Amino acid sequence: MAQPIAEELAKKQRAISIAEFFEKNRQILGFDSAPRSLLTAVKEGVDNSLDACEEAGILPDIMVSIEDAGGENIALIIEDNGPGIVKEQIPKTFAKLLYGSRFHAIKQSRGQQGIGISAAVLYSQLTSGRPTRIISKIDRDEPAHYYELIINTSTNDPEILEEKEVDWDRTRGTRVELEMKASYVKGRRQSVLEYLKSTAIVNTHARLTLVEPDGNTIVFDRAVDTIPEPAQEILPHPQGIELGTLIKMMRYTDRQKLAPFLRYSFSRIGLQTAEEICKTAHLDPESDPHDLELLDAKKLIDVFKKVKISAPPTDCLSPITESLIYKGLEKEFSVDFIATVSRVASVHSGHPFLVEVGIAYGGSLGKEDRVDILRFANRVPLLYQQGGCGITHAVENLRWKNYSMNQPGGGIPAGPAVIMVHVASTHIPFTSESKDAVADVPEIIEEVELALKDVGRKLKTFLSKQHNLSKRREKEEIIKKILPRIAEKVSQVLDKPTPDITPIVAKVMGNLLVYRSVSKNGDGCQVEIAIRNYGDAAFAIKLHDTHQYPVRDAQPEPKSISMGRDTDHTWKLNLKSGAHETIKYHLPFVSEEEANALPGLIVEGVDEGMVNGAKAVRGYVDE
């Protein structure tokens, strides 16, 4: 008798390996075109190197080399100075999907799913038929281990084609070489060069080197020599935890009582808070969490939102910080104004997160173009799917006209600006496995909008000042044309030398006056710098006096930094309205002629047009 058709169909059913799934659906991971495939592979390799270096307390030095391998193939080499990988872990790290140490850890990291570099290995073997070559070394006195690997897609296990010890001139680190069907492109936002440039903006402690197929080398040097504070692993926060997750936690906990379960399964819940939660939910603190029903779990979820629970700890996050965002933007863009803000930590689905935003305006940026949005998640640039990203939607939601920027037809504003948004979280809610866009989570969208409003207000203040300064400059130009003529005529009538009108202009304009005078004194010259605030507002400034001569008996003492032949002498001053300061120092064995020929003074922290007698530069004065 013929078998039922259901039994025939059942014989054809079998489990699908995750490697087999991605073998047929590689576009999900970002390998859907030749340029994007190369960029995705570079991104995954660099992310791994940065994470490994930071966890080991090493300043990252990463080299990305791209070579023409013939035909449509590209050879990609990524080499770092990280801690290396122990021999036994090398095959699984590079040739087993969903293998890693960060998926269950609640702390900020670039990699989360254990897919990234293994997916690049899979794409490499699918398109080139060649194995991935790896060299890794963990210490100067340890041997370097060489592997050639492929992924067995049927079992999602690594297959070792060759294994040996080799000589390698590095003290420690890892080198990965892949060959794949890909293409290297220039002059577009979604390129390896732009990815590394963006990475350098938010990872100011890293040195990144790109060797292009034509041999051209581009170095993005580090701006600071300090490694970010490492993120610490924490327990989930009760606010934002989902019902199904709570039920799973209660079902599989080792705790036999509800109060200890709450206390030791969540962050920011102590003994008293646990008892208050049980009391408010009308649940017995001594009850077994395994025996609680769906209705009880719903009560706990409701109480989590009512009981006052401290905000999640922020040591699980590693924010860039406002000053480093400023330095990163300043290093890569020539602009007139930069504003930054870092929000306090918040929670989504039980995961702490915080938002940081920076805006750079003016300078060499295009005036008629749409604003360039730089999106980052856990210090990683997001270059694709901008239109489908929650960060972009938050930018579009704002009325930028309120902040003196054009927004034709709504959406992304236009003007000479770059908007940088960084979301740092223990769990980034990406829209897909390719990690190109952040989902529209209401809590995240709200925080991004608040941060954008903060920098928007600072930009509006700057633009308003610029408008007022423009009027002031027009007024000052008129005064400077009239007063010299008056002074010259009066001098002729009185038969006296024409006076320096700089102090008069400063007083009329309500500016900051900086005036340096020189007099003969013993074996050299005495220099006196007078600073007077004729304005209505207080000024916090740094005064720079840079020249080649040694300074003696300075009052007050400056902070001096050697700059090759010259030395920069800096005084930090705070002047209220109407206040004045005097700086004195001696230049031994310097003639009056030489002292009068000293380079001009520079005032940092004041807008151009608000100073007379010195050059004004805008800087990050609070750093």
99: pLDDT confidence band, cut at 50, 70 and 90?
Answer: very low
CB count within 10 Å of CB 219 equals 12
Residue 45 and residue 115 in one domain: yes
530 CB-contact burial (10 Å; exposed 0-12 / middle 13-18 / buried 19+): middle
Judged against a pLDDT cut of 80, whether residue 622 lies above it is answered with no
Judged against a pLDDT cut of 90, whether residue 118 lies above it is answered with no
352: pLDDT confidence band, cut at 50, 70 and 90?
Answer: confident
What pLDDT is stored for residue 563 in this prediction?
A: 83
What's the whole-number average pLDDT of the chain? 84
Judged against a pLDDT cut of 90, whether residue 451 lies above it is answered with yes
What pLDDT is stored for residue 623 in this prediction?
A: 41
Q: Which of 409, 439, 463 is the last residue of a domain?
A: 463
540-565 average pLDDT score:
91
Here the CATH number for the domain that contains residue 202 is 3.30.565.10
Angle between helices 322-332 and 192-202 (to 10 degrees): 140
Whether 2 is in a domain gets the answer no
31: pLDDT confidence band, cut at 50, 70 and 90?
Answer: confident
Residue burial 556-586, b: 16+ Cβ < 10 Å; e: rest:
eebeeeeeeeebebebebebeeeeebebebb
For residues 194 and 7, the model is more confident at: 194
What pLDDT is stored for residue 114 in this prediction?
A: 43
620: pLDDT confidence band, cut at 50, 70 and 90?
Answer: very low
What pLDDT is stored for residue 113 in this prediction?
A: 45
Residue 206 and residue 62 in one domain: yes
Helices (H), 333-441: 390-397
Whether 236 is in a domain gets the answer no
Judged against a pLDDT cut of 70, whether residue 89 lies above it is answered with yes
Rg (the chain; Cα; Å)? 31
Residue 389 and residue 455 in one domain: yes
Contact 94, 120 (CB under 8 A): no
Residue 333 and residue 255 in one domain: no
Contact 101, 111 (CB under 8 A): no
Distance CA 520, CA 516 (A): 14
Distance from chain centroid for Cα 449: 18
Judged against a pLDDT cut of 90, whether residue 92 lies above it is answered with no
Q: Which of 38-42, 310-314, 325-329, 528-532 has the lowest mean pLDDT?
A: 310-314
Judged against a pLDDT cut of 70, whether residue 207 lies above it is answered with yes
For residues 484 and 89, the model is more confident at: 89
Distance CA 38, CA 383 (A): 13
Whether 469 is in a domain gets the answer no
What does pTM read for this prediction?
Answer: 0.65
For 124, residues 6+ apart whose C-beta sits below 8 A from its C-beta are: 41, 130, 132, 178, 179, 180
447: pLDDT confidence band, cut at 50, 70 and 90?
Answer: very high
Domain total of the chain: 4
545-561 average pLDDT score:
93
Judged against a pLDDT cut of 70, whether residue 28 lies above it is answered with no
Judged against a pLDDT cut of 90, whether residue 591 lies above it is answered with yes
Sheet of 602-604: strand order equals: 559-563, 566-575, 539-547, 602-604, 615-617
Q: Which of 306, 334, 352 is the last residue of a domain?
A: 306
Of 405, 329, 335, residue with least CA distance to 370: 405
Residue 105 and residue 196 in one domain: yes
Of 190, 222, 231, residue with least CA distance to 382: 190
CB count within 10 Å of CB 476 equals 18
Q: Which of 45-54, 271-280, 432-441, 576-585 has the lowest mean pLDDT?
A: 432-441
Residue count of the chain, please give it. 623
What pLDDT is stored for residue 104 in this prediction?
A: 45
Residue 458 and residue 509 in one domain: no
Whether 285 is in a domain gets the answer yes
Residue 285 and residue 361 in one domain: no
CB count within 10 Å of CB 622 equals 9
What pLDDT is stored for residue 155 in this prediction?
A: 80
Whether 623 is in a domain gets the answer no
Residue 164 and residue 49 in one domain: yes
535: pLDDT confidence band, cut at 50, 70 and 90?
Answer: confident
Strands 611-612 and 512-521, by their bridges, are parallel
Residue 334 and residue 289 in one domain: no
pLDDT, tens digit (0-9, with 9 covering 90-100), for 482-515: 767 777 777 777 777 776 767 776 777 778 889 9
Q: Which of 437-446, 499-508, 602-611 has the lowest mean pLDDT?
A: 499-508
Judged against a pLDDT cut of 80, whether residue 341 lies above it is answered with yes
pLDDT, tens digit (0-9, with 9 covering 90-100), for 219-277: 999 888 888 877 777 788 887 688 888 999 999 999 999 999 999 998 888 889 999 99
Whether 226 is in a domain gets the answer no
Q: Which of 404, 435, 463 is the last residue of a domain?
A: 463
Here the CATH number for the domain that contains residue 389 is 3.30.230.10
Q: Which residues pair with 519 in a beta bridge?
A: 526
Q: Which of 95-109, 508-522, 567-581 has the lowest mean pLDDT?
A: 95-109
What pLDDT is stored for residue 618 in this prediction?
A: 67
What pLDDT is stored for residue 100 in this prediction?
A: 46
554-566 average pLDDT score:
90
Whether 10 is in a domain gets the answer no
What pLDDT is stored for residue 268 in this prediction?
A: 85
Judged against a pLDDT cut of 50, whether residue 621 lies above it is answered with no
Per the structure, the complete domain to which residue 297 belongs is given by 243-306
Residue 327 and residue 449 in one domain: yes
Residue 553 and residue 600 in one domain: yes
Residue 522 and residue 591 in one domain: yes
Distance CA 513, CA 507 (A): 8
Judged against a pLDDT cut of 90, whether residue 552 lies above it is answered with yes
Report CA dihedral (25, 27, 33, 37) to the nearest 10 degrees: -100
Whether 231 is in a domain gets the answer no
Distance CA 161, CA 152 (A): 12
Judged against a pLDDT cut of 90, whether residue 177 lies above it is answered with yes
101: pLDDT confidence band, cut at 50, 70 and 90?
Answer: very low
Strands (E), 488-558: 512-521, 524-533, 539-547, 552-555
What pLDDT is stored for residue 544 in this prediction?
A: 94
578-597 average pLDDT score:
93
What pLDDT is stored for residue 595 in this prediction?
A: 92
408: pLDDT confidence band, cut at 50, 70 and 90?
Answer: confident
